[in-house]
């Protein structure tokens, strides 16, 4: 848990549940591609804030999970 008492996902399944159920955000191909564009852009202020707040390791996990989601969505 983080300082606010929120659980930070440690696996793809937990992350996907957090996005789709807890946050109520549909995990669509468009959404995934948009987030990948932001998270993989070294000049993105949003990506920089995320990395500073959650750390490099979690950022790498989240990027990998977005890639995994994209692969799953493309095969549907």
- For the chain (length 76 residues), average pLDDT per consecutive 10? 66 97 97 98 97 97 98 95
Within-domain flag for 19: no
- Give the position of tokens 């202020």: 45
The pLDDT value recorded for residue 7 is 81
Structural domain count of the chain? 1
The pLDDT value recorded for residue 6 is 62
What range does the domain containing 50 cover?
26-74
pTM (2 decimals)?
A: 0.88
N-term to C-term CA, the chain: 33
How far apart are the C-alpha atoms of 57 and 65, rounded to whole Å? 12
Which residues, including other chains, have CB under 8 Å from residue 42's CB and lie 6 or more apart?
A: none
Within-domain flag for 16: no
């Amino acid at each position: 848990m983080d300082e606010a008492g929120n659980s930070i996902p440690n696996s793809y399944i937990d992350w996907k549940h957090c996005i789709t159920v807890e946050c109520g955000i549909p995990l669509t191909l468009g959404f995934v591609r948009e987030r990948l564009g932001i998270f993989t852009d070294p000049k993105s202020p949003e990506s920089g804030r995320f990395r500073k707040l959650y750390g490099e390791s979690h950022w790498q996990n989240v990027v990998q999970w977005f890639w995994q989601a994209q692969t799953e969505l493309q095969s549907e």
